Amino acid sequence: MAEHPHAALVRKGYEAFQRGDMDTLRGLMTGDATHHVPGSHPLSGDFKGVDSIFDGYYGRLFSETGGSFRVELLNVFVDGRGHAVSVHRFTADRGDKHIDESGGIVFRIVGDKITDLDECVEDIEKGNAFWS
């Protein structure tokens, strides 16, 4: 049985992110996509538009961690109505801090493009401490 197109889209996005292939990843999103990041730290908030997502958030994930940020996709669930939910594990080092956490993203997909990403984390306070 073939994988649902929304699950395949999310999987392709994770693969591109992990490779650092931002051109491919950018092509999977609408120009006005929004990535919502939980917490109360310098990287949390709403990043609206692909330039804001890539420069304001993804670029900072890599720069703040000296390129050590890694994410492993564990599973993708779909509802067949434009939503997909990923479950992943992420690790990073920042100065003398290390994080190893589970999280996920709720994706809104219209047509074949991602329009909205709502990130969820296992422990918000742990994330706040790591990124602050």
Please report the domains of the chain, with CATH numbers, ordered by start residue: 5-131 (3.10.450.50)
* For the chain, percent of residues with pLDDT exceeding 70: 99
Residue 112: the pLDDT is 94
Tens-digit pLDDT profile for residues 40-99: 999 999 999 999 999 999 999 999 999 999 999 999 999 999 999 999 999 999 999 999
d(CA 37, CA 117): 9
Nearest Cα neighbor of 35 from 11, 18, 54, 7 is 54
Supply the mean pLDDT for the chain. Answer: 96
**pTM of the predicted model as reported, rounded to 2 decimal places:** 0.94
pLDDT at 113 over 90: yes
